A and B are shown apart, each in its own frame.
Chain A
Amino acid sequence: MTHPFPFSAIVGQDDMKLAMILTAIDPKLGGVLVFGDRGTGKSTAVRALAALLPPIQAVHGCPVNAANPADVPDWAGLETHEMAERPTPVVDLPLGVTEDRVTGALDIERALTQGEKAFQPGLLAQANRGYLYIDEVNLLEDHIVDLLLDVAQSGENVVEREGLSIRHPARFVLVGSGNPEEGELRPQLLDRFGLSVEVRSPNNIDDRIEVIKRRDAYETDAAKFLRKWGKEDTRLRDRILTARGFLGDIETRNPALRDCAELCMALGADGLRGELTLLRAGRALAAFDGAKSLGRAQLRRVAPLALSHRLRRDPLDEAGSATRVARTVTEVLG
């Protein structure tokens, strides 16, 4: 497939699309977790987002996509430092991946054939300044999860193994998807995701028909379909870029901060990461909406995304956590 399905042509799934747009506006939000049934367009949306994002400026040939020549690591062995444009990296983390492949390791090929000690960068290096996408994140092996937790927190990958001692920046937006029926996600990893979304198949027959029609049109004549939706995608990209520019200017007044804190207290969310994410997500949404300051409208919209996965799990509670958040939001914000 040459060009993925256009982002704006995805029918419905507004929460998922909004969450992805917000992380594109503010990468510091800490990623999106998409949980839902099979065949609801999770993977399609992530790949579409990659195609939507504007390219980045990076040193040509740099293994960690450094933004300026001073940041290129020594071990890369680059002679020239030309800048080049490259698409926002979106790196797939396959499930059966080995530790070496994630963090990078001794280049065994060179070690054995040429007797040289060289570092072969891994997926974390590739994903720097971009997205790291983990499909079926709940099936990921525990030791890989531990690695990711550490790096996602510090933004730096430290390799101390097989006689190598190397550190390089690894700042990426974590995007995970999975199906909760196949296994739970460890709470530590859950907490690292800034936003979480639950997706379901559309239960409206017209929406479903529209999905099939668009998909069929895309498969019959991709070029025509892309021409039709390309304009929408460009408009959305421009809006994201504008929002990025305004992000710093969004005012946050004390009442909004108080709202955030009250919401998190009422929900009993662990730690303060909830408030911080809520605040950031709200500001990103305000920038996207073209508002001057963070208001209750934005908080109300992003609260379920930012908080529903941070609640204490109550195994005997039948209602989903999204419902609990919605209820509390109505109580606190009125």
Chain B
Amino acid sequence: MTAPRWDAAQLALALLSIDPVGLGGIVVRARVGPVRDAFLAELGSIHLPCRRIHPDISDEALFGGLDLSATLTAQKVVFSRGLMYEPAAIVLTMAERTAPTLAAKLAQAIDDIPHFTLVALDEGTDADERCPPALSERTAFRADLDGIGRMQTPPSDLPDPAVARALYPRVPATSQAIEALTALAARYGVDSLRAPLFALRAARAHAALFGRVSLVSDDIAAAAGLVYGHRATQMPTDEDEPQDDPPPPPDQDEADSPQGQDDDILDIPPEMLIEAVRAMLPEGMLETLVPAGTARGARGSGAGARRKGNRRGRPLPSRPGRLDGRARIDLVATLRAAAPWQPLRRKLSARKHRLLIHPSDIHVKRYEDRSDRLLIFTVDASGSAALARLAEAKGAVELLLAQAYARRDHVALIAFRGDGAQLLLPPTRSLVQTKRRLAALPGGGGTPLAAGLQAAGELADHARGHGLSPAIAVLTDGRANIALDGRADRVRAAEDAVRLGRWLRGSGVPGVVLDMGNRPARQLAELAAQMGARYLPMPRADAGRLSAAVGAALDG
């Protein structure tokens, strides 16, 4: 029994090996395991040498440069050639941990010298951990292998791509195919124009794979499914009224295609293409589409979040170290370290009267940097916290973000309501993203305070791992009535909240609890004490006062 997703992944890989550079590559979303290994074993069909890189790779290793250690040892200039020097299939492991800067550099390299194909191994566990969009944008395919069993992964029974590779340049792109693919991309809300180009190449590769020299509707459908499936941001609008709004029919008057063979695609039924893509939509996509309510489901990982400043800030004493292309050499300290050894080294060296520096003398500069702060707003969106309060919280988040230029703060927003908490805004400094997310914040339901605190604590841990200093601001009226396990139980709910408060204190996250109720609640003052946080009763606060109070409480 084969899993359909495994078949799709294998087809994508076969197409990729026909035109590895033109199709850009593939993002493989899977945890480490036998299924991923089975898939990677087939990468050999791509006729390019495989180079594995990891997200912490230095620029020197990627792009080459002067190899200082080797230069000093050999006493002559030694250059290292970077990985990006030759054509290669670049396998990026742990792609979800790629910093935006590395992603941008790789993207630039891919744009500049078209001789790479990228295989990004995305091992992210939740939706927010994923391959940077700058890279997934430049790869045609995406294979999602999670949840496929080992027994469902038979070896590929597709025709040999080596044969198809010779045929591929002879498959022309027809204007009907271009029009059909572009129209389809628009209907699925795929904005980028790279996608139709990829789809066009994929269709041609698909035709070549099955030994044809002209495109037929099967090719178009397969390509559309593979390339648009994971890029779609909306469902085609005419779902309810099937015939009302078909895409512009392929223009039959325009006869710039000299080939007569492609008659059979003159009328590709649009429904068929739409079905082809729908079959490839990732599971759960509809749920993520509806609340976002935007044409674009772009989810940045919050840029700037991963800066670990070791190149700026307050200088520290320099240390012996290796030059890895990022560290800066402390020349004076290096010379000072080398100085006492000069007479000895001159005796041992064949060449006299020269400064002899060994790699072990090299000292690098170090800096201490205060990491950026992340403010996690944990907002009560329950029925009891009046909707007006929610509007104030939204206003405060936006105001704080507007000040973030000066204060270098990042902002995240968690809302809790009904039976759980939800991360509405991942850590970000982007006003554009914030506005979009805040506009869709819903309200109503019970008050799962404990779930909110838990989500905030987890996010704080996560942020700390990325070099930010998190702080939590809780906005609630304190009437917790949903326990951590989702049951409506006032006593348990309060106990759970206090327990999580203690946990937060233990993990050392500073915080502030803002009481938005009309009368100050004793319960919340207690919670704040457990959290080691400041307690601020704020009846009738407006957005301006709220943001001022949070700023003052956390700075103090």
| Interface majority SS (helix, strand, loop, mixed), chain B | helix
Q: Which of A296-325 contact B (CB under 8 A)?
A: 313, 315-316, 318
State how many angstroms separate the Cβ of B204 from the closest Cβ of chain A. 10
Q: Which residues of B have CB within 8 Å of A181?
A: 298, 300, 430, 432-433
Q: Which residues of A have CB within 8 Å of B196?
A: 208, 212
Contact flags A204-242 to B (C-beta < 8 A → 1, else 0) = 011011011101100110000000000000000000000
B521: interface (CB < 8 Å) = no
Which residue of A has the minimal Cβ distance to B400?
A315
Q: Which residues of A have CB within 8 Å of B112?
A: 1
A156: interface (CB < 8 Å) = no
B-side interface size class? 35 or more
Q: Which of A127-158 contact B (CB under 8 A)?
A: 135-136, 138-139, 141-143
Residue from B113, B178, B192, B429 within 8 A of A216 (CB atoms): B178
Task: Assess whether A183 is in contact with B108, with CB atoms less than 8 Å apart.
Answer: no
CB contact under 8 A between A215 and B433, given known A92-B108, A209-B179? no
B500: interface (CB < 8 Å) = no
**For the complex, what is the distance from the CA of A115 to the CA of B342, rounded to whole Å?**
14
State how many angstroms separate the Cβ of A269 from the closest Cβ of chain B. 18
**For the complex, what is the distance from the CA of A23 to the CA of B371, rounded to whole Å?**
38
Task: Assess whether B431 is in contact with A139, with CB atoms less than 8 Å apart.
Answer: no
A37: interface (CB < 8 Å) = yes
B326: interface (CB < 8 Å) = yes
Residue from B111, B137, B194, B247 within 8 A of A205 (CB atoms): B247
Task: Assess whether A209 is in contact with B300, with CB atoms less than 8 Å apart.
Answer: no
CB contact under 8 A between A96 and B59, given known A39-B137, A138-B303, A211-B193? yes
State how many angstroms separate the Cβ of B121 from the closest Cβ of chain A. 21
Task: Assess whether B193 is in contact with A41, with CB atoms less than 8 Å apart.
Answer: yes
B234: interface (CB < 8 Å) = no
**For the complex, what is the distance from the CA of A106 to the CA of B329, rounded to whole Å?**
11
Q: Which of B399-423 contact A (CB under 8 A)?
A: 399, 401-402, 405
CB contact under 8 A between A162 and B355, given known A181-B300, A315-B398? no
State how many angstroms separate the Cβ of B187 from the closest Cβ of chain A. 9
**For the complex, what is the distance from the CA of A179 to the CA of B175, rounded to whole Å?**
31
Task: Assess whether B191 is in contact with A201, with CB atoms less than 8 Å apart.
Answer: yes
Task: Assess whether A316 is in contact with B395, with CB atoms less than 8 Å apart.
Answer: yes
Number of residues in A with C-beta < 8 Å to the partner?
55
Which residue of A has the minimal Cβ distance to B354?
A115
Task: Assess whether B182 is in contact with A208, with CB atoms less than 8 Å apart.
Answer: yes
Residue of B114, B172, B200, B331 contacting most chain A CB atoms (<10 Å): B331
Task: Assess whether B173 is in contact with A216, with CB atoms less than 8 Å apart.
Answer: yes
Residue from B200, B328, B402 within 8 A of A315 (CB atoms): B402
Contact flags A279-293 to B (C-beta < 8 A → 1, else 0) = 000000000000000
A84: interface (CB < 8 Å) = no
Q: Which of B184-220 contact A (CB under 8 A)?
A: 185-186, 191-197, 200
CB contact under 8 A between A43 and B111, given known A98-B328, A139-B104? yes
Residue of A1, A108, A216 contacting most chain B CB atoms (<10 Å): A216
Which residue of A has the minimal Cβ distance to B403?
A315
**For the complex, what is the distance from the CA of A41 to the CA of B105, rounded to whole Å?**
18
Which residue of B has the minimal Cβ distance to A202?
B193
B94: interface (CB < 8 Å) = no
State how many angstroms separate the Cβ of A323 from the closest Cβ of chain B. 15
B507: interface (CB < 8 Å) = no
A182: interface (CB < 8 Å) = yes
Q: Which residues of B have CB within 8 Å of A139?
A: 100-101, 104, 303-304
**For the complex, what is the distance from the CA of A213 to the CA of B196, rounded to whole Å?**
10
Task: Assess whether A108 is in contact with B300, with CB atoms less than 8 Å apart.
Answer: no
Which residue of A has the minimal Cβ distance to B331?
A162
**For the complex, what is the distance from the CA of A96 to the CA of B105, rounded to whole Å?**
7
Which residue of B has the minimal Cβ distance to A109?
B66
CB contact under 8 A between A201 and B193, given known A139-B104, A180-B430, A182-B430? yes
Q: Which of A87-125 contact B (CB under 8 A)?
A: 92, 94-96, 98-100, 106, 108-109, 111-113, 115
Q: Which of B319-337 contact A (CB under 8 A)?
A: 326, 328-329, 331
Q: Which residues of B have CB within 8 Å of A43?
A: 111
**For the complex, what is the distance from the CA of A1 to the CA of B18, rounded to whole Å?**
20
Task: Assess whether B329 is in contact with A316, with CB atoms less than 8 Å apart.
Answer: no
A81: interface (CB < 8 Å) = no
**For the complex, what is the distance from the CA of A99 to the CA of B191, rounded to whole Å?**
36
Q: Which residues of B have CB within 8 Å of A136?
A: 100, 104, 134
State how many angstroms separate the Cβ of B550 from the closest Cβ of chain A. 16
State how many angstroms separate the Cβ of B118 from the closest Cβ of chain A. 15
Q: Which residues of A have CB within 8 Å of B247?
A: 205
Task: Assess whether A135 is in contact with B108, with CB atoms less than 8 Å apart.
Answer: yes
A40: interface (CB < 8 Å) = yes
B357: interface (CB < 8 Å) = yes
Q: Which residues of A have CB within 8 Å of B100?
A: 95, 136, 139, 182
A167: interface (CB < 8 Å) = no
**For the complex, what is the distance from the CA of A10 to the CA of B283, rounded to whole Å?**
37
Residue of B112, B192, B432 contacting most chain A CB atoms (<10 Å): B432
Task: Assess whether B108 is in contact with A313, with CB atoms less than 8 Å apart.
Answer: no
Residue from A39, A96, A203 within 8 A of B194 (CB atoms): A39
Task: Assess whether B401 is in contact with A39, with CB atoms less than 8 Å apart.
Answer: no
Task: Assess whether B432 is in contact with A213, with CB atoms less than 8 Å apart.
Answer: no
Residue from B68, B193, B298, B395 within 8 A of A112 (CB atoms): B68
Residue from B108, B357, B402 within 8 A of A94 (CB atoms): B108
* 26 A-B pairs with C-beta separation under 8 A: A38-B137, A39-B191, A39-B193, A40-B193, A96-B102, A100-B328, A108-B331, A111-B331, A112-B355, A113-B77, A136-B104, A136-B134, A139-B101, A139-B104, A142-B312, A180-B432, A181-B300, A181-B432, A183-B304, A183-B430, A201-B191, A205-B183, A216-B200, A315-B398, A315-B402, A316-B395
Closest 3 CB pairs of A and B: A39-B192, A183-B303, A315-B402
Q: Which residues of B contact A (CB under 8 A)?
A: 22, 59, 66, 68, 71-72, 75-77, 100-102, 104-105, 108, 111-114, 133-134, 137, 172-173, 175, 178-179, 181-183, 185-186, 191-197, 200, 247-248, 296, 298, 300, 303-304, 307, 311-312, 326, 328-329, 331, 354-355, 357, 395, 398-399, 401-402, 405, 428-433, 435
20 more CB-based (< 8 A) A-B contacts, given A212-B182, A215-B193, A219-B22: A1-B114, A39-B192, A100-B328, A112-B68, A113-B71, A113-B75, A138-B303, A162-B331, A180-B430, A180-B431, A183-B300, A183-B303, A184-B429, A184-B430, A186-B405, A208-B182, A208-B193, A209-B182, A212-B196, A315-B399
